Chains A and B, each alone.
Chain A
């Protein structure tokens, strides 16, 4: 089991594990050979080991040479198994760490993106409501103008009538037209939300593409460790290049607090 504080690379862990398992296989193979041996005979490489002091307990009374020979490989097998366990624990730890990084980074980003999209949705609805309100007021002003034209088909007559005091118009048609013009211009101004929301959505799209690429990398890593990734019903699409909208999007674009943000710009530009 590695005690190195440095995180080994996937390739190192894999190579170590492979080597350990090969050692286990060799030991198992030698165990099988020892079991087939006649009492008193030993493997050539085991003969060298016997010269060294055995780390295991001393053979008990009645235990033959074959059992003693058998015990040493068993102890070595236990050691190799412990090492294998350690390597596997290292792999699991690496996977846990990967999962932790993904959870910390991606979940936060996705939550932020979710909040962004909710804000976009909210602002879209607000802008739409404002435009509908403006259209309703505009329609009311058109009705008002129509009423004025019915009451006084000739605008000159209206002014003349007003000056005579015979039929004073409820509203000055010029004033009504100005109000209508203002309403229509305001509706156009509300359409600025389109630019702002498109930038936010573009940024969210970049985040999704980035998360997609990270998941593809993770899947590749898991597959190298032998994990089977279930395939979806559909063929996975080609990953969108990360940051496709980076140049054209302001991630912090918002329709909120325009006045205070403008005040900060005014402060800087004097």
Chain B
């Protein structure tokens, strides 16, 4: 399974990539903001993990763009962010995020959320 990891912090991208590799996913592409994420997003990407607060284009705008395109509207998206106010989480859900991980996270939480999203997507299909 190919992942797209979008985060403006290189440190966080490395941590997310490292966590993904640890739980068994090694096919990963990276982007530094939402706009870059949309540029590298192609048909081979099967799962998106994105931060919220980023320059140029934030994670929420990127999620909306992905959901508005027929080619990517059903792509699983997991948001990994520091934002943990209830209204923010609800806003992310309304934008089309499939699940939500609050930073700082553990690889175990990341694994659980990825599996949960994949199960739901599989169930919906």
Contact = CB atoms under 8 A, between A and B. Distances in A.
A269 to B, nearest CB: 5
B124 interface: no
B84 to A, nearest CB: 4
Contact of A189 (B8, B52, B102, B107): B107
Contacts of B85: 252
A248 B8 contact: yes
Interface string B6-19: 01110110110011
Interface stretch (A24-32, A90-98, A139-147, A258-266): A258-266
B104 A268 contact: no
Contacts of A258: 102-105
Given A250-B81, A250-B82, A264-B84, A195 B12 contact: yes
Contacts of B99: 269
A191 B15 contact: yes
Interface of B: 7-9, 11-12, 14-15, 18-19, 22, 52-55, 58, 81-86, 89-90, 93, 98-107, 109
Interface string A238-250: 0000000001111
A250 B83 contact: yes
Given A195-B9, A196-B82, A198-B9, A248 B53 contact: yes
A188 B105 CA distance: 11
Contacts of B7: 195
B100 A265 contact: yes
A218 to B, nearest CB: 31
B103 A192 contact: yes
Contacts, number: 90
Contacts of A189: 15, 19, 104-107
A248 B57 CA distance: 10
A250 B99 CA distance: 19
Given A188-B18, A195-B12, A250-B53, A265 B84 contact: yes
Of the four ranges (under 10, 10 to 19, 20 to 34, 35 or more), the interface on chain A belongs to 20 to 34
Contacts of A249: 53
Contacts of B11: 191-192, 194-195
A199 B102 CA distance: 15
B84 A196 contact: no
A254 B107 contact: no
Contact of A247 (B14, B53, B102, B109): B53
A269 B94 CA distance: 10
Give 7 nearest A-B pairs by CB, closest first. A253-B82, A261-B84, A192-B104, A265-B100, A195-B9, A261-B102, A195-B12
A5 B116 CA distance: 63
A266 B102 CA distance: 10
A268 B93 contact: yes
Contacts of B18: 185, 188
Nearest to A192: B104
B46 to A, nearest CB: 20
Contacts of B22: 185
Contacts of A198: 9
A255 interface: yes
Nearest to A258: B104
